[in-house]
Chain A
Amino acid sequence: MTSIKNALAGLWSLVVGMGITGKYFTAPLVTVFYPRQEAENIETYRGHVELVGKEDEAGVPLCIACGQCARQCPSQCITVSAKVAPADPAESKDGKPAKPKRLKTPGVFQLDYNLCSLCGQCVQVCPVDSLRYSNNVYFAVFTRQETNIDLLERLERQAKEGK
């Protein structure tokens, strides 16, 4: 007797389950058809880091080329070096040629996104807040070299596009 009861209860549980599935069968869709549609939750996404431009000169980064971000980065994926101005012959003393001057602006700023772990330590350590997360969600490349991003060029491009 109890086994029959158990079997009936078991069968009923299946009916209940099918009922729930049936209900959701008619429920509105929760997925999006990428790439024809885009998900709407991407504005809070934090992608690879990018440089922040100066207020009056959007194409030039705030960065002072101190190199702290490169030192702090756990994965050594930032390469930054200061722009070097050619030696000014007028400044030469005692016949010795003047040394080239290191400027307080980066000449090279490369990010190897392949290695980046998006930890945000470079963003936090920067003394002049010259780094921020980008919103670059749809970042896909064909070769590994393409993940090596030239952030200076990216900033210039963004400034031109008026972003």
Chain B
Amino acid sequence: MTMSPQLSSDPSDFYSQSFSKGARENTLILNMGPQHPSTHGVLRVIVELDGEYIVRAEPVLGYIHRMHEFMGQKKTYTQYLPNMGRVDYLHATAWNWAYVGAVEQLAGIEVPERAEYIRVLTCEINRICSHLVWWGAYLLDLGAFTPILYAFEDREFLLDILQRVTGSRLTYCYFRFGGVYADVDDKFIDDTRTFIQRFRKRLKMYEALVTKNFILRKRCEDIGVLSVQTARKYGCTGPVIRGSGVPYDVRRAVPYSVYPELDFEIPTFSEGDAMARYMVRLKEMEQSLRIMEQVMDRMPDGDIQGKTPKTLKPPKGETYFAVEGARGKIGVHLVSDGSATPYRVKLRAPGYSNLSCFAELSKGTLIADAVSILGSLDLVIPEIDR
């Protein structure tokens, strides 16, 4: 057997190899990351620059790969639950939901109505948290420092609210098969109502302070225009594809839980640039507030935990369950062989598909604009690597 020539000749990895071979006169190969402040986590982007313009860019993944899918095959169904809060730490409840939803579908577990409402409520609160972090961090990338402090001030209220039921502030492990861990109390509801009132005013302030700001508009408008075809080609979902004018939202497209009974809109903007994606997220926060209000008005009394077998062994088969996360469609493909551990867990991370279009979007842009594009995709690297 002969050794493959690539293995024996050059110890550097594939990306640096192909990039260094491709470097031409007057171009420069540059590494952005894995420890770069604008990549928010350990994402490495190799860019070939001509002056300040990007000739090509290639994201390199895998720096925070934690084998979540493999862990799923080694642990029992319940033991795998805490992993879900750690895949995407910014919208942990949505991942909780995608996994418990898949297991419930496979094992035929009923969820009481109150639990469904609580799930929607916590999921939407968490969505606002996630968008707030994105909003602050994105503006930080663009050079505005103050907004992140405002965003985190508001987020603090939400974290306190969620802490009441989940006990933690970031990596929630709150959903259980057939229900949720703890019931919401009156203080939870009161605090949420107070927050909604407060946040509506704050959103107006955000708009005056940032959205209308001339400098922000210059940094976002007509930057990284994503066409519908490209978005579809790469499987973009969430605010990224809605910023290109496609009203695709799992909550409406494949309705789950009590979402069909709730009245909310799916904000879309057709420009496809970074500003459109920005606007989609801001509008989504308003819609989330609306959903939260309706949920609190309608929430019935009752159990929060349905009947579950003591040792969970779903029947042989497979299932797919998707929910709408802050970054797009979160899917869990679960295959069971009838034993107490899953045969295979496949996690569909929206960030992975959203990032894939970056290479195409950043071609020919200034490097500073590439930072703006990267931020507008709202990436959470641990989720992309899983």
B235 within 8 A of A: no
A117 within 8 A of B: yes
Instruction: Please measure, in the bound complex, the distance between the C-alpha atom of A119 and the C-alpha atom of B181, giving whole angstroms.
Output: 10
Knowing A14-B214, A44-B163, A133-B167, the reply to whether A121 touches B208 (Cβ < 8 A) is no
Nearest A residue (CB) for B86: A117
When the two chains form the complex, which single residue of A16, A24, A119 contacts B82, counting CB atoms closer than 8 Å?
A: A119
When the two chains form the complex, which single residue of A17, A41, A118 contacts B213, counting CB atoms closer than 8 Å?
A: A17
Instruction: Please measure, in the bound complex, the distance between the C-alpha atom of A150 and the C-alpha atom of B164, giving whole angstroms.
Output: 27
Instruction: Please measure, in the bound complex, the distance between the C-alpha atom of A33 and the C-alpha atom of B213, giving whole angstroms.
Output: 32
Q: Which residues of B contact A119 (CB under 8 A)?
A: 81-82, 173
Q: Which residues of B contact A16 (CB under 8 A)?
A: 208-209, 212
When the two chains form the complex, which single residue of B156, B167, B212, B217 contacts A44, counting CB atoms closer than 8 Å?
A: B167
Evaluate contact between A121 and B213: CB separation under 8 angstroms: no
B259 within 8 A of A: no
Instruction: Please measure, in the bound complex, the distance between the C-alpha atom of A73 and the C-alpha atom of B160, giving whole angstroms.
Output: 27
Q: Which residues of B contact A141 (CB under 8 A)?
A: none
A 1-19 binary contact with B (CB < 8 Å = 1; else 0): 0000000011101101100
Evaluate contact between B214 and A46: CB separation under 8 angstroms: no
B16 within 8 A of A: no
Taking the closest CB of chain A, its distance from the CB of B164, in whole angstroms, is: 5
Evaluate contact between B82 and A74: CB separation under 8 angstroms: yes
Knowing A46-B167, A118-B168, A120-B181, the reply to whether A13 touches B79 (Cβ < 8 A) is no
Knowing A14-B215, A74-B80, A119-B81, the reply to whether A20 touches B209 (Cβ < 8 A) is yes
Taking the closest CB of chain B, its distance from the CB of A16, in whole angstroms, is: 5
Taking the closest CB of chain A, its distance from the CB of B382, in whole angstroms, is: 15
Evaluate contact between B212 and A72: CB separation under 8 angstroms: no
Instruction: Please measure, in the bound complex, the distance between the C-alpha atom of A21 and the C-alpha atom of B215, giving whole angstroms.
Output: 16
Instruction: Please measure, in the bound complex, the distance between the C-alpha atom of A44 and the C-alpha atom of B83, giving whole angstroms.
Output: 22
Nearest A residue (CB) for B71: A74
User: What total of chain B residues lie within 8 Å of the partner, measured CB to CB?
Assistant: 30
Taking the closest CB of chain A, its distance from the CB of B373, in whole angstroms, is: 22
Evaluate contact between A21 and B146: CB separation under 8 angstroms: yes
B153 within 8 A of A: yes
Evaluate contact between A21 and B209: CB separation under 8 angstroms: yes
B339 within 8 A of A: no
Evaluate contact between A45 and B208: CB separation under 8 angstroms: no
Give the number of A-B contacts (CB < 8 Å). Answer: 69
Chain A interface size, as a band, is: 20 to 34
B 199-225 binary contact with A (CB < 8 Å = 1; else 0): 000000100111011110100000000
Taking the closest CB of chain A, its distance from the CB of B230, in whole angstroms, is: 30
A30 within 8 A of B: yes
Could you say which of A9, A16, A46, A120 has the most chain B C-beta atoms within 10 Å of its C-beta? A120
B316 within 8 A of A: no
Instruction: Please measure, in the bound complex, the distance between the C-alpha atom of A72 and the C-alpha atom of B83, giving whole angstroms.
Output: 15
B78 within 8 A of A: yes
Taking the closest CB of chain B, its distance from the CB of A2, in whole angstroms, is: 14
Knowing A16-B208, A20-B208, A45-B167, the reply to whether A121 touches B81 (Cβ < 8 A) is yes
Knowing A11-B214, A46-B168, the reply to whether A117 touches B173 (Cβ < 8 A) is yes
Q: Which of A70-89 contact B (CB under 8 A)?
A: 72-75
Q: Which residues of B contact A74 (CB under 8 A)?
A: 75, 78-83
Instruction: Please measure, in the bound complex, the distance between the C-alpha atom of A13 and the C-alpha atom of B218, giving whole angstroms.
Output: 13
A 34-66 binary contact with B (CB < 8 Å = 1; else 0): 000000010011100000000000000000000
Taking the closest CB of chain B, its distance from the CB of A51, in whole angstroms, is: 18
Instruction: Please measure, in the bound complex, the distance between the C-alpha atom of A124 and the C-alpha atom of B167, giving whole angstroms.
Output: 14
Q: Which of A85-139 contact B (CB under 8 A)?
A: 117-121, 124, 133
Q: Which of B56-83 contact A (CB under 8 A)?
A: 75, 78-83
When the two chains form the complex, which single residue of A11, A41, A72, A124 contacts B163, counting CB atoms closer than 8 Å?
A: A41
Taking the closest CB of chain A, its distance from the CB of B157, in whole angstroms, is: 10
Evaluate contact between B164 and A44: CB separation under 8 angstroms: yes
When the two chains form the complex, which single residue of B83, B146, B153, B167 contacts A120, counting CB atoms closer than 8 Å?
A: B167
Q: Which residues of A contact B181 (CB under 8 A)?
A: 120, 124
Evaluate contact between A20 and B205: CB separation under 8 angstroms: yes
12 A-B pairs with CB atoms under 8 Å apart are A10-B215, A13-B212, A16-B209, A17-B209, A21-B146, A41-B163, A44-B160, A45-B163, A75-B82, A118-B82, A118-B173, A119-B173
Listed from nearest, the 8 A-B pairs whose CB atoms lie closest are A46-B167, A10-B214, A74-B79, A119-B82, A117-B82, A119-B173, A13-B214, A20-B209
A30-B153, A72-B79 are known; give 16 further A-B pairs, CB within 8 A.
Answer: A9-B214, A10-B217, A11-B214, A16-B212, A17-B208, A17-B213, A20-B205, A45-B168, A73-B79, A74-B75, A74-B80, A117-B82, A119-B173, A120-B167, A121-B81, A124-B181
